Structure 1
Amino acid sequence: MDKCLFPLSRTVSSDGLNHKVLFQCGDGKTVEAALMLFLNPGRRPRRTVCISCQVGCPIGCPFCATGRQPLERSLTADELVSQVLYFENSFRPSAATATPRERRWLTNVVFMGMGEPLSNFENLRQAIGFLGSPKGLGMGRRQLMVSTAGLAPQIVRFGKENIQAELAVSLHAADDHLRDALVPVNTRYPLQSVIAACREFIRLTGRHIYFEYALFAGINDSIADADKLIQLIGGMDCPVNLIFGNQVGSGGYQPSTRTVAFDFQKRLIAGGIRTMLRASRGADIEAGCGQLRSRWLSKSGDPAHHFSSLIES
């Protein structure tokens, strides 16, 4: 893979566990990617990189900074892989000092940055193929995860082509009226079509899907919302990842309190749904979706203007 992205800036969280990098493409477009380090005593470290699939986003979720940026283009397969290789090559110990298990430094790659991965299907497929190949990083299916806002036909295609990556579907609401507002593509692919596509994926692959649900105070975090989610996905034996929504600008979306989030989680568990509540990461470097790029553009309007004075933290 040719080097086709250039780092413009790197921002590091105060605890050193989160790194966010702004890249410039060959045509001057910019995208971001993030590295998250999970260092739990007694467990093997996890080093996860979250990469972008598009410049901007076609979905337009109002709670996401990237969603406020119009889609400019999809990234090529080389550009997808280059984000991963930047972190792999920048952080990996030298071959002389690394143990065999450390020869590949990254443990996981998630396609959860800017853009909708399944609307860039062919380049996504090629990138996953490279990352999983012996000539690439040799990553297994469980080490790669793709997140979609719910493009029903592409969910089925993902299963039919047996793409070797896990699949996560961002729900964020369990009724169409609310999801139309939070995830506008729901007006095209309403919940019943998304869930039907998920069931078909499970039938085709024998694998489960992960559901993602960002909690926003007073919007989608009530016990009634939890009950709707139980009714929607009950019996599918698919886990739910609850996350605290990020505050973006002055749009009125605030993360739920921990107490409310715990109550929501307990309700799902009582309803037979496997659930994990994930902690927020990198808040001090605005590590939410699209925030670094938004801040850069709002300051300069022209990222190339700063190219000669790279910020390396």
Structure 2
Amino acid sequence: MDWRDFLNKIDLKSFNLEELKKLMVEIGEKSFRGQQIFNWIHQKNVESFQDITVLSKELRDKLENKYKITNLKIFKRFDSKIDNTKKYLFLLEDGNIIESVMMEYKHGVSVCLSTQVGCKMGCTFCASTKDGLIRNLTTGEILDQVYKIQKDLNIKVSNIVLMGSGEPLDNYENVLKFLRIINHKHGQNIGYRHITLSTCGIVPNIYKLADEKLPITLSISLHATNDNERKKVMPITYKYSISEVIKACKYYIEKVNRRVTFEYTLIKGVNDTKENAKKLANLLKGMLCHVNLIPLNPIKEVDYRSSNKKSVKNFKRELENRGIKATIRREMGRDINAACGQLRRKYMESKKD
């Protein structure tokens, strides 16, 4: 079979349970076969219809003729010598490359997933966006990052962060479907409260997500305290102002009853002063929220430097003195380019040489 024929097949890993049941009826099978297929794909993580041994050989062959189960390939894995972080480059079926990260914490195993190949948001300090957006990932491709990491390391993932390459709310429908499937009791059954979605602030989709009332953690990449400064690092601010983002976050808190996290990357001499901390505290005053302070991971395309440890601690202290809870993100896997988009970009550049 030509590889292009395989690409044109319909991916059943991207189907939810109801869609699989409906499909089975449409092809002349009993609907419970859809339940079986869902279990074997999302709980047992099979990679081929031939592995679903509860189905007849005839049905397996029928499915294989028209459908597929998305199957990412581990292109490369990088193991940190600093901690036990693992960084993956996954090869997609169309030849594109994405990246994911596995991180071990006291509270369990977290994975950071990509939701797009590249990104179009244009944040100046982020490596993911430098070559623009190539395409959205399918629901199956987002799910399979979890499944492949679990299989490769023989572990059970307990926490998920949608904070890798891409803007999750720019791939809204596929991401929403991912959330429902990864949480499903007949799949991985990962609780919504163990899932974080990070966005640069696509306001209309924050409202849409709030109306779904899924108790995931919403994380906002803020990085500045006024629109003029934020526009310099995050072009999305030209479309949605900080005040519009904050208003949408308050709506999210009201609907979901979950605190919102604000990510704030500290860039030396840009946004890391005591005055910046005061302004941030005033901006977030009275909200059910938390600030995650992130020491910058420098990239060579932009002349930004990370704030020193003293500045970071002073910034945190200033926020807390003004009633805003804050933590400093622990750096993971710095020796393997574990920050968002860095490893994929390094690989893409090597191909050009």
Q: Does the TM-score normalized on the shorter chain lie above 0.5?
A: yes
Whether the aligned pair in 1 keeps the contact of 2:118 and 2:133 (CA below 8 Å) is yes
Q: Counterpart amino acid of 1:202?
A: I
Kindly indicate whether the alpha-carbon contact (under 8 Å) linking 2:125 and 2:298 is maintained by their aligned counterparts in 1: yes
Which residue, out of 151, 175, 181, partners 1:89? 151
Equivalent residue, structure 2, for 1:185:
236
Distance in 1 (CA, whole Å) between partners of 2:215 and 2:251 is 17
Query: Which residue in the other structure is 1:257 paired with?
Result: 308
How far apart, CA to CA, are the structure 2 residues paired with 1:156 and 1:145? Answer: 16
Q: Residue 7 of structure 1 aligns to a residue in which SS?
A: strand
Deviation at 1:28, TM superposition (A): 1.0
Conserved? CA contact 2:128–2:165, under 8 Å: yes
Q: Choose from 130, 136, 152 the match for 1:74.
A: 136
Alignment of 1:195-206 (within 5 A): 195-206=246-257
Q: Which residue of 2 aligns with 1:148?
A: 199
Q: CA deviation at 1:16?
A: 4.5
SS in 1 for 2:87: strand
2:180 alignment counterpart: 129
Q: Which runs of 5+ in 2 are unaligned?
A: 1-12, 14-68
The amino acid across from 1:28 in the alignment is G
1:215 aligns with 2:266: yes
Match in the other structure for 1:36: 103
- Aligned residue in 2 for 1:55: 117
Q: Indicate the residue corresponding to 2:320 in structure 1.
A: 269
Looking at structure 2, the residues matched to 119 and 250 of structure 1 have their Cα atoms a distance apart, in angstroms, of 24
Is 2:71 the counterpart of 1:4? yes
Q: Secondary structure at the match of 1:207?
A: coil
**2: CA distance, partners of 1:217 / 1:161:** 38
Alpha-carbon distance in 2 for matches of 1:164, 1:277: 24
Whether 1:65 aligns to 2:127 is yes
Instruction: Specify the alignment match of 1:100 in structure 2.
Output: none
Highest RCO, 1 vs 2 (Cα 8 Å, sep ≥ 6) = 1
3-state DSSP of counterpart to 2:225: coil
Structure 2 distance, partners of 1:135, 1:218, is: 50
TM superposition shift of 1:259: 0.2
Write the distance in 2 (CA, Å) between the matches of 1:174 and 1:67.
22
1:116 corresponds to 2:183: no
Percent identical among aligned pairs is 35
Q: What SS is found at the alignment partner of 1:147?
A: strand
Query: Which residue matches 1:98?
Result: none
CA RMSD of aligned residues (A): 1.3
Structure 1 stretches of 4+ moved >2 Å: 1-4
Is 1:25–2:101 an aligned residue pair?
no
Q: CA deviation at 1:9?
A: 0.5
3-state DSSP of counterpart to 1:73: strand
Query: Residue 250 of structure 1: CA displacement?
Result: 4.3
Deviations 1:251-296 (A, max 9, x none): 1111111100000000000010011111211111111110111111
Partner of 2:295: 244
Q: Do 1:128 and 1:164's aligned partners in 2 also have CA atoms closer than 8 Å?
A: no
SS in 1 for 2:250: helix
C-alpha contact (below 8 Å) 2:263/2:292 kept by paired residues: yes
Q: Does the 8 Å CA contact 1:125/1:163 hold for their aligned counterparts?
A: no
Partner letter of residue 101 of structure 2? A
Name the SS of the counterpart of 2:166 in structure 1. coil
CA contact (8 A) 1:7 1:23 kept: yes
DSSP 3-state at the match of 1:255 = coil
Q: In structure 2, the residue corresponding to 1:279 is in which secondary structure?
A: coil
Q: Is the 8 A contact 2:221 2:262 kept in 1?
A: yes
Match of 1:194 in 2: 245
1:173 Cα deviation after fit = 0.6
Alignment partners' CA distance in 1, 2:245 and 2:163: 18
Output the CA distance in 2 between the equivalents of 1:49 and 1:85: 11
SS in 2 for 1:297: helix
Aligned equivalent of 1:227 = 278
What is the TM-score of this pair, normalised by structure 2? 0.79
User: Gapped runs of 5+ residues in structure 1?
Assistant: 40-44, 94-104, 303-313
CA distance in 1, matches of 2:314, 2:151: 42
How far, CA to CA, are the matches of 2:322 and 2:102 in structure 1? 34
For residues 121-165 of structure 1, give each alpha carbon's deviation from its aligned partner in whole angstroms, at most 9, with x where no partner exists.
110011111110112211111111100001111111110012342
Alpha carbons 2:113, 2:165 under 8 Å: kept: yes
Offset of residue 4 of structure 1:
2.8
Higher helix share: 2
